[in-house]
Amino acid sequence: MTRVAIADDQSLVRMGFRMVLEAQPDLEVVGEAADGSEAVELARRERPDVVLMDVRMPGTDGIAATAEIAAELPETRVLVLTTFDLDEYAFGALRAGASGFLLKDARPEELLAAIRAVAAGDAAVSPRITRRMIELFGAQLPSDAPRADAAAALTPREREILLAIGRGLSNTEIAAELFLTESTVKTHVGRVLAKLALRDRVHAVIFVYENGLLNGFAYGAQGPEKSGS
């Protein structure tokens, strides 16, 4: 049974999420919070597997709450809920330690799949938000971050996998694009995360953006090169 906490300042939103979750035999809602500070206290008290975290809430916001939960309760995963106009806040929450981000208008099956993925130790990355992050942050994020050289330790195939993760592709989509089996992709993803010392798939996405890997970063002769070179 996966235990889930819901943090959102709108009671109707919380009610809607609760109705969807409680209809599932493998999910249990252990509590609700109306702001970030309540979310932190709820997480401390109930130790849920997953916290659904709104970003913009009164008082302590979702970013600060995510940072506290990630620091204190590493076994509790945070799934950030966002809308297009709040992408910058969602990105901040991911950097604070969230394990996924999802649009509030996601279909129920997408929400459930994201919760189960995060609870299983994977990450939930919405392709739509990934594309939006590229638009918003692609030209702003530095291409000379301190860890940029770490990508040099990856094999050409692992670099392809990393870039595919950065584009928001699932293992199934990566397998189809690169003509690999899903189990092979999963193995490559694990190696990429280990070599780059990244906690999960979401932080691989952040690594890609922070190091400008989707904005003309050149890996060298065997990897992707700057467009126009």
Tell me which range, 46-55, 88-97, 159-168, 216-225, is most confidently predicted by mean pLDDT: 46-55
pLDDT of residue 224: 39
Residue in 45, 134, 61, 127 with CA at minimum distance from that of residue 98: 61
Residue in 2, 7, 97 with CA at minimum distance from that of residue 49: 2
User: Of the ranges 71-85, 91-105, 154-168, 188-202, which one carries the lowest mean pLDDT score?
Assistant: 91-105
Q: Give 23-55 pLDDT, tens digit per residue.
A: 999 999 999 999 999 999 999 999 999 999 998
What domains are there in the chain, each with its CATH number? 2-136 (3.40.50.2300), 148-210 (1.10.10.10)
pLDDT of residue 223: 39
Work out the mean pLDDT of the chain and round it to a whole number.
Answer: 82
Q: Which residue has the higher pLDDT, 185 or 104?
A: 185
* Encoded tokens for 64: 């600060």
Query: Alpha-carbon distance 95 to 45, whole Å?
Result: 24
